[in-house]
Structure 1
């Protein structure tokens, strides 16, 4: 157990108002103490480490220079906001990060007035900040609006759409590009800092404005020539021509860890009178913590770790993760089929495609944080005869829905969508929970939608998806480990739209889609102990549904319960539609649809959350007795510990 760091100066800071009372010379010590506090806190809770360490000085400087929360400060993504939380009245709860009932790992409007806009998906900050800036102008306000966006987020088109709009509107807006990995232009020490301070100064801007006013009285040729000369001179000295073309006044690059450089430049851009400004700041991800600096990818998101050694505490896995099973199955399929390709939107490690890329470096494409482009890029590859697997988290695939509908489904192109992080995701909370993919994919014509009940079924679904060459397909799987079933040597191509019966009964039928099957089997044992003979079936496919299986379950049982780890409008809705079409809702059958609730689920323990929303075995049993109109007897739950589930 680590000893909490000594933080005498930080102990005097409760809010940014206290930061603004400090002398500039004290801020170096404050930054060092914030960094130590953050490292110690994340070692206890786990969370996102590297990005936050890289913006400690920038965070201190921003709260020193700007009058937050009256001045609006918007952080992109939210990975980098732990220092911000420490300085904005949440230090006493910082060791509850991502814990049930604790602080969110991202900015959140209902958590603090210092979080004016919630973030967890990337590249939204400039659009939101422009909205705040225009609202200020419409209301006659004078406060500042600042967006901090990371360079990774600048790989998404939305950021450039926002900048293009902001440049055309000429709103007074400050965008800080936190360049922590892929420098657009390196800072060159004192000279770079001097130039940034010079061109951001009031004197320079006033001279520039005087020049503009003079040239406006001259023929158009002189005005254009003056603008080009100004742009060329600053572009030659400092870079940033792209941002200038988008209508931003570019300043930088400057060292984001040097407070002597940051403070005067931030004051200059704060005091600028009009127009959008982009300040280019160079930072180092993981700054100040050697293990994170040495391996920024591994310390982007961490579990609990030892502060001294940096070693992360990871529980021993009882079964391989679904992500790894997918990656290995895809690699195996790709060895037999050279048309198979992998595509990721800046999540190679998270989706397992880093392993695919190691095996087939020329057949794996990381397109950056650009899900829309990833989907249509995959559509182009499919139209040209290849077999792209476009692996995207469920929550991020939402960003590419139009492309999935228009560019893939409408054209019946055989793009394959492995959907990771489907269902509840634990500590990352509502912004990353994969609740909606079944609903938004299920409504699209021409799609095959699958969900494996366990890791062995996932292997079969990779093979099945690879074999589907006349339409798009998707298969969803959860975060975390499998259930420990025996793994097949080779993936089997499943019959499209065919489910399987795991156990036979006569009174109650439980039809599960995906990894809730284990809970369904456990519920069946409890129901059997109560005298209710129970069938359990694994649908495998949401679309197309196994209509024959569904009709048999409906006709031969009194109660039919569907179970899915997805939102309202998904699998259960498709089952109800099919039963309605076949006239099977008019007779004796009692149907109950179990889904995630019609709300956004906060971060928390997965098992506890499943119990709270009624998607565990006890919840399924409860709904069966509710359907029968009977009081639930007091029966000890019967736990199912793995075993052969049959092939069906």
Structure 2
């Protein structure tokens, strides 16, 4: 097609084995064509552009040297895998990325044998690679295991737990440290500084190279003295090599965009390594595409865009995003309360804390990709008299659950959890869906759990959390733009455990928790046209429940239906427990709970995902009619 790049070498590559017949010069051309094809594809679908562009040469080199799928190449997080997918038989579908029925935006075992391990959360690759290496040693699947992990992912403790174990087991495996000085936001922490020091000074590099060369040329016993001299030089220059102390053979750093460096290093390591080996590769996120290289996040996540200009094609919206509303509401609270501080785990832009950080830089803490630490750090701040707002995506808060239980809930510390990306999130699919937070938080004694029905309610919930000092409190809100409702000048604290009546009707009560309220109202309008006008209420709280409101709805209606953007075990389950305890079911109430289905829903538009889940207005209307026996409906789509 005329709008596609010219790719004569790439056109000859259908599977990684085809790279084996290419010369090094052809591999360099392949890398250029692969970059152009990646840019072209993501311009059509949107997605994670910068990470993939940063590893184009590395992807080519890995597939040229290793023998996938026998060798397991594991991409940490997986958002950099688009070039990998193009080289592994999926080029014909690459323009379906992140769409309903299309390719996943991450690695996915069910999609291809070249994706040996699914990913979308960071810092799992080294653990998985060690598992593959151990399995091969015990008679399982043969082949080498290669983990490709970014420097941002190395800020998570799990990566070092795996390296520590790998160094102990001494099994042959490879870790490629993709050091681009950037994860999503600029990197933070001591590790980032350490990596910078590894290659900051030319004298160290010259001395290191000289020492290695000398050691390789001299006979024993002089070679042993040279090796000790090399270690002494390293110690003086950068304080020792952390990775070698963990039991890894360390190689690098090398230029990750120069195949003349990458290919011989990988070939030598592949041929000679006997134990765990770490290859330190320097890359640039967004490499080779100026609009990505020059953007603040180096093209991390993009909507569809114009290839020539890089201009993104976003649909206009008159409503602010929930994330922005949260950030501005938190700023308003912090203006009058100097104890309010904000914590995020490597997602300042995604959670809106970049906005808060511009206003209060000394009261904003990005702890890196370390959700466990973020939660306990927040607990320490709370114990020390501060008012921490710990802003983490629902899907990532799962990683800190033990800390939520042990360090926050048991101690009744007033940590405020701002849970972004609640519910189904669209193109990122099942790995990023905020499906489980209500269920795993509302079962904790003393935890207050709220969900905003719209952006105005979110402002009130921020104010409620700021005013609440009696134990932990959480409020959840979805990705994307709000409903476009009028916003108050400032949020007002809500009465804990009290919902609100939206509309009074007859026979059927619809009790909503979260932003499905808009769909409930649409369903009610359609039902009214059929002569049935239901009562509608907004629960606001999953814990503590508004007992008075719920029991009133149950006793004054034939049918009570709860609707929520969460899994079974959440709000509806707590309502059912209350009704059972009060004996309401003995009086003939018909109760139903509409929750996300017991399955992981693949990527699609949010509207399509909720249709699949059976939670849009037509499905809510159909549920009401079904329970009343007015109409018979089929199973969920």
Structure 1 length normalisation: TM-score? 0.91
Other structure's SS at 2:542 match: strand
Match of 1:22 in 2: 22
Judge conservation of contact 2:212–2:227 (CA < 8 Å) in 1: no
Match of 1:520 in 2: 520
Aligned mates of 1:36, 1:311 — CA distance in 2: 17
Match of 1:369 in 2: 369
Greater alpha carbon shift after TM alignment, 507-516 vs 184-193: 184-193
Other structure's SS at 1:67 match: coil
The 1:207/1:578 distance shift into structure 2, 3 A limit, reads farther
Judge conservation of contact 1:510–1:563 (CA < 8 Å) in 2: yes
User: What's the CA shift for 1:393?
Assistant: 0.1
Deviation per CA, 1:371-397: give whole Å up to 9, x if none: 000000000000011000000000000
Alignment of 1:461-480 (within 5 A): 461-480=461-480
Other structure's SS at 2:335 match: helix
Greater alpha carbon shift after TM alignment, 608-617 vs 479-488: 608-617
- Does residue 341 of structure 2 align to residue 328 of structure 1? no
- Does residue 199 of structure 2 align to residue 186 of structure 1? yes
User: What's the CA shift for 1:527?
Assistant: 1.9
Aligned mates of 1:198, 1:41 — CA distance in 2: 46
Match of 1:386 in 2: 386
User: What's the CA shift for 1:79?
Assistant: 1.2
Aligned mates of 2:145, 2:155 — CA distance in 1: 22
Match of 2:409 in 1: 409
Alignment of 1:526-545 (within 5 A): 526-545=526-545
Aligned mates of 1:198, 1:66 — CA distance in 2: 30
Match of 1:219 in 2: none
Alignment of 1:256-335 (within 5 A): 256-297=256-297, 299-335=299-335
Other structure's SS at 2:621 match: helix
Judge conservation of contact 2:285–2:298 (CA < 8 Å) in 1: no
Match of 1:54 in 2: 54
Structure 2: segments with no counterpart, 5+ residues: 182-191
The 1:345/1:228 distance shift into structure 2, 3 A limit, reads farther
Other structure's SS at 2:293 match: helix
User: What's the CA shift for 1:142?
Assistant: 5.9
Aligned mates of 2:552, 2:202 — CA distance in 1: 75
User: What's the CA shift for 1:612?
Assistant: 2.2
The 1:62/1:196 distance shift into structure 2, 3 A limit, reads farther
The 1:105/1:13 distance shift into structure 2, 3 A limit, reads same
Alignment of 1:172-211 (within 5 A): 172-181=172-181, 183-184=195-196, 185-186=198-199
Deviation per CA, 1:220-257: give whole Å up to 9, x if none: xxxxx999666445666888611111111111000001
Match of 1:503 in 2: 503
- Does residue 114 of structure 2 align to residue 114 of structure 1? yes
Deviation per CA, 1:97-141: give whole Å up to 9, x if none: 001110000000011111000010000000000000000111177
Q: CA RMSD in A?
A: 2.6
The 1:229/1:502 distance shift into structure 2, 3 A limit, reads same
Deviation per CA, 1:479-507: give whole Å up to 9, x if none: 00111111011111100000001000120
Judge conservation of contact 2:208–2:234 (CA < 8 Å) in 1: no
Aligned mates of 1:68, 1:239 — CA distance in 2: 37
Judge conservation of contact 1:323–1:420 (CA < 8 Å) in 2: yes
Judge conservation of contact 1:231–1:244 (CA < 8 Å) in 2: no
Judge conservation of contact 1:49–1:301 (CA < 8 Å) in 2: yes
Other structure's SS at 2:199 match: coil
Aligned mates of 1:255, 1:548 — CA distance in 2: 66
Match of 1:137 in 2: 137
Aligned mates of 1:489, 1:300 — CA distance in 2: 33
Other structure's SS at 1:427 match: coil
Alignment of 1:542-581 (within 5 A): 542-581=542-581
Aligned mates of 1:178, 1:272 — CA distance in 2: 21
Match of 1:72 in 2: 72
User: What's the CA shift for 1:529?
Assistant: 2.1
Greater alpha carbon shift after TM alignment, 143-152 vs 621-630: 621-630
Match of 2:188 in 1: none
User: What's the CA shift for 1:186?
Assistant: 2.6
Judge conservation of contact 2:207–2:233 (CA < 8 Å) in 1: no
Judge conservation of contact 1:39–1:307 (CA < 8 Å) in 2: yes
Judge conservation of contact 2:211–2:229 (CA < 8 Å) in 1: no
Judge conservation of contact 1:50–1:296 (CA < 8 Å) in 2: no
Alignment of 1:143-158 (within 5 A): 143-158=143-158
Aligned mates of 1:411, 1:603 — CA distance in 2: 38
The aligned length equals 620
The 1:142/1:499 distance shift into structure 2, 3 A limit, reads closer
User: What's the CA shift for 1:614?
Assistant: 1.3
Other structure's SS at 1:243 match: helix
Structure 1: segments with no counterpart, 5+ residues: 216-224, 634-648
User: What's the CA shift for 1:275?
Assistant: 1.3
Aligned mates of 1:3, 1:86 — CA distance in 2: 18
Match of 1:630 in 2: 630
User: Structure 1 stretches (4+) deviating beyond 3 angstroms?
Assistant: 187-201, 225-240
Aligned mates of 2:460, 2:140 — CA distance in 1: 61
Judge conservation of contact 1:196–1:252 (CA < 8 Å) in 2: no
Aligned mates of 1:152, 1:196 — CA distance in 2: 27
Judge conservation of contact 1:192–1:252 (CA < 8 Å) in 2: no
- Does residue 38 of structure 2 align to residue 38 of structure 1? yes
User: What's the CA shift for 1:318?
Assistant: 2.2
Deviation per CA, 1:322-358: give whole Å up to 9, x if none: 0000000000110010110010000000000000000
Match of 1:619 in 2: 619
Judge conservation of contact 1:425–1:432 (CA < 8 Å) in 2: yes
Other structure's SS at 2:510 match: strand
